[in-house]
Structure formats: C-alpha cells, structure tokens
Amino acid sequence: MSFQLLEAAAQRDREIASGWRHHSSTPSQTRYPDFVDEAYLRRAIALATENVRAGGGPFGAVIIRDGQVIAEGVNRVTAMHDPTAHAEVVAIRAAGQALQTHDLSGCTIFASCEPCPMCLGAILWARFDRIVYAATKEDAAAAGFDDSNFYVELAKPAAGRTPPMRQALAEEGLLPFLAWRQFSAKVPY
C-alpha cells in the first residue's frame, strides 16, 4: 500500500476520532475517501480467498488504527475446531494482543462479509469506530453460510429459543456481579 494511501487513512482515522467523539457527529454524517476503505477491504477479500485455497472458510478481516494495519484474521473454525474462530474474532483477538487492550476504540474493522451476530457482538464489545464490509449476509447464505435463524432466535424471549433456555439460581447468579461492584481493582469494560 502506498504512503499516500496510508497517510489518507491516518488522516481519516484522526478525523473520525475527533469528529465522532468531540463534536457529537455520527459516522453517517462524515464522508471519507472510498479508495482508502476499498484498499483495506480488498486486503480482507484477498485474505478470505487465500484462506479458501488453504482449505478454510471464505472470510477475512483487517483491523486498522491511525492508518496502520493492527491485525488480520481469517476464518479458522475448522482448522481450530472452534466455532467462535470467525475471521473478525480472530482479528479482534490479535488486535487486543498487539495493542495490549480490550478497547479497540479508534479502530476500523474491514470484513470480507457482513459480520454475523456473534462477530457483531464482539465488534460492539470492542468499541470499534467503524465497520466496513463487502459481501452481505444474504451473499453468505447463498454460499451456504446462512445465519438468518440466529436473528430469529435473538428476537424471541429466552424461554422460546432453540435450544431451550431456562433460568435457575437467579439470586446466586447475582453474587459475581455483587463481587464485581465491590472489587476496587477491577478494569472496567
């Protein structure tokens, strides 16, 4: 990637950080050069394609901050025998280690495909500033990666979900939260 692309990305990230955090604007109110996003997105797509050729799933992700690539990830579900090893989660774990923090504010994640509900949850917990993706969840479903049932399940009350869920030991379940509130050396997240 050329120096100009990296500098444009760094400038965009600085503008995002100042615009979204200090001026109360929303991401949709600010426009950034598409060519910068597209360069990182092409890298995510290339990672996904390379991963397919290596026997993995067709998903890739790139995380940047201040115009620098912090981490990359590909789908490792079958290689690691881990259903949570989606490209975005793999990249988030690597970014957390690289930056030595769980808070990825100031970062943008570029994904070859629209994040699934699990990955979106991880992205939201990590506090990314932006998500940029290429293929849609409908495109993924057409290729055999249909997560539409997850959205249906999440919309149901807990008692009506599949697999069945039931709450038990509700009062005892509050004990860890009480301990958390009282623990003075906690690291909030």
At 18, the amino acid letter reads: S
Name residues whose C-beta falls within 8 Å of residue 45's C-beta, 6 or more positions apart in sequence: 60, 112, 134
Sign of CA dihedral 117, 123, 125, 129: negative
Name residues whose C-beta falls within 8 Å of residue 75's C-beta, 6 or more positions apart in sequence: 48, 51, 56, 57, 58, 59, 60, 85, 86, 87, 90
The catalytic position among 15, 72, 88, 171 is: 88
In the numeric block, the tokens 């620098």 are attached to 68
- Catalytic site includes residue 88: yes
Tell me the C-alpha distance between 143 and 171, whole Å. 45
Tell me the C-alpha distance between 89 and 75, whole Å. 9
Tell me the C-alpha distance between 179 and 189, whole Å. 15
Name residues whose C-beta falls within 8 Å of residue 100's C-beta, 6 or more positions apart in sequence: none
Q: Which residues are catalytic?
A: 88
